[in-house]
Amino acid sequence: MNCSVNCIVYWCFKMSTWFPEQPKAWYHKMCIRILEFGPIPKHVAVIMDGNRRFAVKNSMDRAEGHLKGFDKLTEVLEWCLDIGITEVTVYAFSIENFKRSKEEVDCLMELARKKFKRLMEEKDKIKEYGVCVRVLGNVSLLPSDIQEIIAEVVTFSKDNTRAILNVCFAYTSRDEMCTAMKEIAEGVSLGLIKDSDVSEALLEKSLYTGNSPNPDLLVRTSGEVRLSDFLLWQTAYSCLAFVKVLWPEFSRWHLYGCILHYQRNYQQLQRAKEQNEADQLRLQRESDYEIVAQEMDQSETKSLHTLAKQYANDRENRVNNFVQYLHEKRDKFFHDIATKSKKRINGDVTVEINDSDNWMTLPFKSMIVVTDIITIQSDGSDY
């Protein structure tokens, strides 16, 4: 199977939009009205699995399977907006996916290249929809031209607030946590934060997803019931929906099923989440008191309570400033790539951005719904 040739031929004939704007049948409008009686997840994460099995099942080549997967993504984004889901995070390419054949990796890179370019051609729609597109992952692992296109999309859309699309690309959760820990260690050595400021809350804010709420619902298609190193930290209190259908076959009905599943489990998940938040607050308060008590000297006239309050204030300021610093650093990462790229295109500079440049590694850097039966098995250990 010659994946890349087929890809190119196929793309010559079809250049699908990110905004398909399909008409909605009356019965879908009715279903949405009914769903709106219950809580609607604000943030949904998706593991779009099963493209290759779909290709085999339909006698297509892999490239076409992935392309169908992309088209499905654009549809699902619209369905989500219709329902009031304003943030979607998708697993588009895992760092583990680099282990696939060169032909398939090239093919997925070419798909990303073409689709992000296409997105920039649809600038008016990005503005009209008010969508902020973020790319989360170790972007420095990607070919330099893709880094440039991604940087353009991210910088162009960064101030939009009506909807958020997080594309996890060259991402794994463990890599994300490791990167966050390195950043925190650097923050401590630069004196921006103290080692005693390190907490679950700080680590959470230092992840690529730091400025988003955690997903309310995570959907994985294709019948696999693993998280495959996707948003492991962020989904601790999310509702998990494992759908048996292959990603390109996912329909509005499957989405409604996942939302119903979320609504059925909502109270239980909320209670667990609130309990965890209360526990975290208590632990933080205890830690503040302990630190202040250790540092307090005999001549201190203020009460332990007053000192702990003051300490907590200072700690919060340090942490907020550090998080702000991280966000600015990540914005700058993309801004610098986009600027270099523009200058190069305009002929202002002759330096090429090299894949091997030592970019900072920051980017910027349960329950089951059964809907279909699958007989074709996945051949890989990655997702």
Rounded to a whole number of angstroms, the minimum distance from the CB of residue 164 to ligand FPP is 14
Q: Which residues are CB-contacts of 191 (< 8 A; sequence separation ≥ 6)?
A: none
Can residue 135 be called a binding residue for ligand FPP (CB under 6 A)?
A: no
Q: What x-and-dash track marks residues 90-119 binding ligand FPP by CB under 6 A? A: --x----x-------------xx--x----
Phi, psi dihedrals of residue 367, rounded to the nearest 5°: -175, 165
The C-alpha angle with vertex 153 and arms to 111 and 349, in degrees rounded to 5, equals 100
Q: Which of the residues 57 through 76 are near ligand FPP (CB under 6 A)?
A: 66, 69-70, 73
> Among the candidate windows 46-54, 148-156, 287-295, 360-368, which touches ligand FPP by CB under 6 A?
46-54
Residues constituting the chain? 383
Can residue 363 be called a binding residue for ligand FPP (CB under 6 A)?
A: no
Which position among 157, 173, 206, 222 is part of the footprint of ligand FPP (CB under 6 A)? 222
Is 284 in contact with 308 (CB distance < 8 Å)?
A: no
Residue 313 burial (CB count, 10 A): 11
Query: Considering CB distances under 5 to 8 angstroms, the limit depending on partner class, which of ligand FPP, Mg ion, none binds residue 40?
Result: none
Can residue 220 be called a binding residue for ligand FPP (CB under 6 A)?
A: no
Which position among 50, 137, 187, 223 is part of the footprint of ligand FPP (CB under 6 A)? 50
Which residue's Cβ lies closest to Mg ion? Answer: 49
Q: How far apart are CA 374 and CA 245, in angstroms?
A: 7
3-state secondary structure (DSSP) of residue 240: strand
Q: For ligand FPP, which is the closer residue by CB, 167 or 338? A: 167
Can residue 154 be called a binding residue for ligand FPP (CB under 6 A)?
A: no
Q: How far apart are CA 363 and CA 193, in angstroms?
A: 21
Q: How far apart are CA 155 and CA 138, in angstroms?
A: 17
**Nearest alpha-carbon partner for 370 in 217, 218, 215, 225:** 225
Residue 108 burial (CB count, 10 A): 22
Q: What x-and-dash track marks residues 34-73 binding Mg ion by CB under 5 A? A: ---------------x------------------------
The percent of the chain in helix, strand and coil, each rounded to the nearest 5, is: 55, 10, 35
Rounded to a whole number of angstroms, the minimum distance from the CB of residue 266 to ligand FPP is 28
Which residue's Cβ lies closest to ligand FPP? Answer: 69
List interacting residues with ligand FPP (CB under 6 A).
48-53, 66, 69-70, 73, 92, 97, 111-112, 115, 167, 222, 378, 380, 383
Residues that bind Mg ion (CB under 5 A): 49, 378, 383
